[in-house]
Chains A and B, each alone.
Chain A
Amino acid sequence: MTQILMPALSPTMTEGKLARWLKAEGETVKAGDVIAEIETDKATMEVEAVDEGTLTKILVPEGTEGVAVNTPIAELDGGAAEAPKAPKPEAVLDKAPVEKMETAKPAATPVPAQAAAAPEKDWGATRPMTVREALRDAMAAEMRADKDVFLIGEEVGQYQGAYKISQGLLDEFGPKRVIDMPITEHGFTGMAVGAAMTGLRPIVEFMTFNFSMQAIDQIVNSAAKTLYMSGGQLGCPIVFRGPNGAASRVAAQHSQCYASWYAHLPGLKVLAPWSAADAKGLLRAAIRDPNPIIFLENEILYGQTFDCPVDEDFILPIGKAKVEREGTDVTLVAFSIMVGMAMQAADELAAQGISAEVINLRSLRPLDIETIVRSVKKTNRLVTLEEGWPYAGIGAEVAMQILENCFDDLDAPPVRVHGLDIPMPYAANLEKLALPRLEQVIEAAKRVTYK
Chain B
Amino acid sequence: MAETAARAARGKGASKGPSQPAISKDQLTRAYRDMLLIRRFEEKAGQLYGMGLIGGFCHLYIGQEAVVVGMQLCLQPGDQVITSYRDHGHMLATGMEARGVMAELTGRIGGYSKGKGGSMHMFSREKGFYGGHGIVGAQVSLGAGLAFANWYRQDGAVALTYFGEGASNQGQVFESLNLAALFKLPCVFIIENNKYGMGTSVERASASRDLSKNGSPWGIPGEQVNGMDVIAVKEAGERAVAHCRAGNGPYLLEMKTYRYRGHSMSDPAKYRTREEVQKMREQNDCIETARKLLLDSHGVSEAELKVIDDEVKAIVQDSAEFAQTSPEPDESELWTDVLVESR
Within 8 Å of chain A (Cβ to Cβ): is B175? Answer: yes
Over the window 118-143 of chain B, the binary record of Cβ atoms lying under 8 Å from chain A Cβ atoms (1 yes, 0 no) is 00011111100011011100101111
Tell yes or no: B338 within 8 A of A by CB. Answer: yes
Size range of the interface on A?
A: 35 or more
Query: For residue B122, which residues in chain A have a CB less than 8 angstroms away from its CB?
Result: 230
CB of A312 closer than 8 Å to a CB of B: no
What residues of chain B lie closer than 8 Å to A229, measured between beta carbons? 113, 116-117, 121
**Complex Cα distance A266/B337, Å?**
10
Task: Tell me which residues from 99 to 121 in chain B have a Cβ below 8 Å from any Cβ of chain A.
Answer: 99-100, 103, 109-117, 121
Once the chains bind, are B152 and A200 in contact (CB under 8 Å)? yes
Provide the A157-178 mask, 1 if CB < 8 A to any CB of B, else 0: 0000000000000000000100
Partner of B49, one of A7, A40, A233: A7
Are A106 and B336 interface neighbours, CB within 8 A? yes
Residue B73 CB within 8 A of the other chain = no
- Which residues 308-343 in B have Cβ within 8 Å of A in the complex? 310, 313-318, 321-322, 332, 334-343
Which of chain A's residues have a CB closer than 8 A to the CB of B96?
A: 97
What is the bound-complex CA distance between A198 and B55, given in angstroms? 30
Q: Is the CB of B342 within 8 A of A318?
A: yes
**B171 at interface (Cβ–Cβ under 8 A)?**
yes
Name the contact of A31 in the complex, choosing from B43, B146, B172, B269 (C-beta under 8 A): B43
Q: Which one of A115-123, A284-292, A368-376 is at the interface? A: A284-292
Residues of chain B from 277 to 310 with CB closer than 8 A to chain A in the complex: 281, 310
Bits for A208-235, please: 1 = Cβ < 8 Å to B, else 0: 0000000001100110001111111111
Judged by a CB distance under 8 angstroms, whether A125 is at the interface is no
Question: Does A193 have its Cβ within 8 Å of any Cβ on chain B?
Answer: yes
Q: Is the CB of A231 within 8 A of B116?
A: yes
Residues of B within 8 A of A105 (CB): 335, 341
Interface string of A192-214 (1 = CB under 8 A from B): 11111111100000000000000
Shortest 4 CB-CB distances between A and B: which pairs? A194-B145, A190-B141, A7-B50, A187-B175
In the complex, which residues of chain A have a beta carbon less than 8 angstroms from the beta carbon of B8? none
B2 within 8 A of A: no
For the complex, is B144 an interface residue (Cβ under 8 Å from A)? yes
B116 contacts A228, C-beta separation under 8 Å: yes
Closest to B176 in A: A187
Chain A hits for B268, CB < 8 A: 42-45
In the complex, chain B residues 23-66 whose Cβ is within 8 Å of any chain A Cβ: 40, 43-44, 46-47, 49-52, 55-57, 62
Interface 9-residue window, one of A83-91, A243-251, A272-280, A442-450: A83-91
Q: Distance in Å from the Cβ of A239 to the closest Cβ of chain B? A: 14
- The listed residue (B141, B270, B338) touching A187 by CB distance below 8 A is B141
User: Which residue in B142, B265, B266 is a CB contact (below 8 Å) of A222?
Assistant: B142
Does residue B169 face the partner (Cβ distance < 8 Å to A)?
A: no
The interface residues of chain A lying within 8 Å CB-to-CB of B140 are: 190
A92 within 8 A of partner (CB):
yes
Answer yes or no: A352 CB below 8 A from chain B CBs.
no
Q: How far is the CA of A196 from the CA of B134 in the complex (A)?
A: 19
The residue of chain B having its C-beta at the shortest distance from the C-beta of A10 within the complex is: B266
Does B74 belong to the interface (CB within 8 Å)? no
Contacting pair B146 A198 (CB below 8 A)? yes
Q: Which of B80, B112, B176 contacts A97 (CB 8 A)?
A: B112
Question: Does A194 contact B148, Cβ atoms closer than 8 Å?
Answer: yes
Chain B: CB-nearest residue to A150: B152
A227 and B343 form a contact (CB under 8 A): no
Residues from chain A with a CB closer than 8 A to the CB of B130 are 194, 197-198, 234
**Beta-carbon contact of A106 and B148 below 8 Å:** no
Given contacts A107-B335, A221-B138, contact A83 B314 (CB under 8 A): yes
Chain A residues in 8 Å Cβ range of B178: 182, 184, 187
Q: How far is the CA of A393 from the CA of B265 in the complex (A)?
A: 40
CA distance A39 to B266 in the complex (A): 11
Asked if B51 and A70 make an inter-chain contact with CB atoms under 8 angstroms apart, the answer reads yes
Q: What residues of chain B lie closer than 8 Å to A103, measured between beta carbons?
A: 336-337, 340-341
B340 touching A102 by the CB < 8 A rule?
A: yes
Q: A186 on the interface (CB 8 Å rule)? A: yes
Picked from A101, A193, A290, the residue with its CB within 8 Å of the CB of B142 is A193
By the criterion CB–CB under 8 Å, are B171 and A186 in contact? yes
A187–B142 Cα distance when bound, in Å, is: 9
Residues from chain A with Cβ under 8 Å of B49 in the complex: 7-8
Interface residues as binary, A27-60 with B (CB distance below 8 Å gives 1, 0 otherwise): 0000110100000101111111010000000000
Residues of chain A within 8 A of B262, CB atoms compared: 45
A11–B55 touching, CB < 8 Å? yes
Partner of A234, one of B123, B266, B341: B123
The residue from B50, B57, B145 contacting A195, defined by CB atoms under 8 A apart: B145
Give A103 to B109 CA distance when docked, in angstroms.
16
**Complex CA–CA separation, A269 to B341 (angstroms):** 12
Asked if residues A85 and B145 are in contact (CB atoms below 8 Å), the reply is no
CB atoms of A86 and B142 under 8 A apart: no
Known interface pairs A6-B50, A8-B265, A96-B112; 12 further A-B residue pairs with C-beta atoms within 8 A, sorted by A's residue number? A10-B265, A11-B57, A44-B268, A86-B317, A95-B109, A191-B145, A194-B143, A194-B148, A218-B142, A221-B138, A222-B138, A231-B337
- Measured in the bound complex, the distance between the Cα atoms of B312 and A387 in whole Å is 62
Q: Which residues of A contact B114 (CB under 8 A)?
A: 96, 98, 231-232
Please name all residues of chain A whose beta carbon is closer than 8 Å to the beta carbon of B341 when the two chains form the complex.
102-105, 290
A267 close to chain B: CB less than 8 A:
yes
The verdict on A5 contacting chain B, using a C-beta distance below 8 Å, is yes
Is A9 close to B, CB under 8 A?
yes
Q: Which residues of A contact B146 (CB under 8 A)?
A: 194-195, 197-198
Please tell me if B98 contacts chain A, counting CB pairs below 8 Å: yes
Query: Is the C-beta of A392 less than 8 angstroms from some C-beta in chain B?
Result: no
Q: How far is the CA of A60 from the CA of B67 in the complex (A)?
A: 39
* B22 at interface, CB cutoff 8 A: no
Cβ 8 A contact of B339, one of A104, A196, A200: A104
Interface flag for A256 (CB, 8 Å):
no
In the complex, which residues 140-198 of chain B have their Cβ closer than 8 Å to any Cβ of chain A?
140-146, 148-149, 152-153, 171-172, 175-176, 178-179, 182
Which residues of A are found within 8 Å of B99, using beta-carbon distances?
89, 93, 97
Cβ-defined partner of B145 (8 Å) among A101, A176, A196: A196
B57 touches A8 (CB 8 A): no
How far, in Å, is A176 (CB) from chain B's closest CB?
7
In the complex, residue of chain A having the shortest beta-carbon distance to the beta carbon of B130? A197
Is there an interface contact between A9 and B50, defined as CB atoms closer than 8 Å? Answer: yes
The verdict on A188 contacting chain B, using a C-beta distance below 8 Å, is: yes
Report how far A233 CA is from B131 CA in the complex, Å.
11
Partner of A231, one of B113, B332, B339, B342: B113
> Can you pick out 21 interface pairs between chain A and chain B where the beta carbons lie within 8 Å of each other?
A9-B265, A32-B43, A43-B268, A45-B267, A85-B314, A97-B112, A101-B340, A187-B141, A187-B144, A194-B143, A194-B145, A195-B146, A197-B130, A197-B145, A218-B141, A221-B135, A227-B337, A230-B337, A232-B340, A233-B113, A234-B123
For residue B210, CB closer than 8 A to chain A, the reply is no
- The answer to whether A74 has its CB under 8 Å from any CB of chain B is no
Contacts of B153 in A (CB 8 A): 200
Q: How far is the CA of A333 from the CA of B178 in the complex (A)?
A: 45
